[in-house]
Structure 1
């Protein structure tokens, strides 16, 4: 039996997908590693993993890739865990730190600042500990589990999934399952069935996981903020986003 190296994002929003994979027979064919989004992307670009859940902006770097699943990390409006935080309204932010965990969120923030808000603050590459530098007229893009509870720390929060929806009328894809080579059809069938089963088990999973913060509604997050189906609307959104990414230079993390 063939085995495949798989890299997946370690955030809360991937738990239903991982739950499905780990409870499926397909797990016997997987050597699974968890990492932050940017590291999953690096492994895919370097060719050290066969299959990865990666931030979609990396697709613009790849001469060859295959989106191998109808499941993703997406949203159709407010996503709750990707946004710009600050002590002042965004119009008053002179600088914004860019979360180094995901190029997709960096590029999405750049796109919305340029096209939606029509603002040009100084964009700063961020390193670990940058959350403590957000304050005054300095804002920050923050993604993933680190955002949970930040709305109580900062009075201004701009949800990038929600703003994208307002700007384009489209849903958004933050991460997709991607391979750079052709994988066996029977394996991919089992893989997709496992992901489908994990998404279907969200009600069960909600009973097994505790909320990371008393103010964070885990049930609402899984059922309203995250949309796991890579449908036609999200594919259209992905094409729109990648058209922008291909023309722009990312601020390094």
Structure 2
């Protein structure tokens, strides 16, 4: 029987899922979803384990995170942005990205506690060639953000949400971790996750080559290289857990969190 690992169709996941993506493990494959859609297949049992957004981890009463791997940043992340033709202080409306709960919640948290701006909110999926309105900011995630950075459009300001979070709190921001629902992956499966990351981390150049070709991406290679080699961090540390718990506390007025901390450990 084939067992599926839930993941996202973004470049940042590829070092973690490298061997699963390449069908190197008999009876294991990946199944891709946008971040906002990852929880449902975990609940339904379509996947045995999932790279779940941190917002879903905190709001899922029964989901449990593994404590080895994550998708995170210390400072600039490049793939979670607020983009606008206006300066930050002049933005009146923010369009949240319908594909992501965690990034939207991150912006709301930054706006409420650190940015000192009052905005109205809308929600929809952004596009690379979308027409930006004056005084409007757009939250963008994933490869779209990397495409925006690569194209460097004239007159567009980019604000890196990972960078703002780190500058204000001193903690990394954890965008997602591996989560399971009822049964923890067995020892063999945990070893497969280790093997996949070890191989993936050693083949970043090949991952970038394959990704850019297969996706017809508009991401410049230098942007992709800096992203995988400098921006994204994959190992969970105590600083990550402290950052997750701080995010949980600061964002609690926007969300009905079911957990009082990462894995309810506090």
TM-score range (shorter-chain normalised) is 0.7 to 0.9
Name whichever of 108-117 and 12-21 sits farther off.
Answer: 12-21
Work out which of the residue numbers 239, 243, 246 in structure 2 matches 1:237: 243
Counterpart residue number, 1:126: 124
3-state secondary structure, aligned to 1:83:
strand
Q: Distance in 2 between matches of 1:87 and 1:223?
A: 29
Counterpart residue number, 1:70: 68
CA contact (8 A) 2:23 2:29 kept: no
Q: Distance in 1 between matches of 2:56 and 2:131?
A: 27
Question: 1:194-244: per-residue Cα shift (whole Å, max 9, x none)?
Answer: 223212322443454547334752211111111111222112211211233
Question: 1:159-210: per-residue Cα shift (whole Å, max 9, x none)?
Answer: 0010000010011111111111222222222222322321232244345454
Structure 2 unaligned spans of 5+: 257-266
Q: Distance in 2 between matches of 1:118 and 1:92?
A: 11
Q: Distance in 2 between matches of 1:175 and 1:68?
A: 11
3-state secondary structure, aligned to 1:139:
strand
Q: Distance in 1 between matches of 2:181 and 2:251?
A: 19
3-state secondary structure, aligned to 1:149:
helix
Change (3 A) 1:228 1:179: same
Q: Distance in 2 between matches of 1:133 and 1:45?
A: 37
CA contact (8 A) 1:73 1:226 kept: yes
Q: Distance in 2 between matches of 1:134 and 1:60?
A: 33
Change (3 A) 1:199 1:215: closer
CA contact (8 A) 1:4 1:51 kept: no
Q: TM-score, normalised by structure 1?
A: 0.87
CA contact (8 A) 1:60 1:246 kept: no
Counterpart residue number, 1:21: 20
CA contact (8 A) 2:82 2:161 kept: yes
Q: Distance in 2 between matches of 1:101 and 1:46?
A: 20
CA contact (8 A) 1:57 1:245 kept: no
Q: Distance in 1 between matches of 2:23 and 2:67?
A: 16
Q: Distance in 2 between matches of 1:43 and 1:197?
A: 27
3-state secondary structure, aligned to 1:16:
coil
CA contact (8 A) 2:93 2:122 kept: yes
Counterpart residue number, 1:4: 3
Q: TM-score, normalised by structure 2?
A: 0.83
CA contact (8 A) 2:76 2:231 kept: yes
Aligned length: 248
3-state secondary structure, aligned to 2:111:
helix
Structure 1 unaligned spans of 5+: none
Work out which of the residue numbers 119, 130, 133 in structure 2 matches 1:135: 133
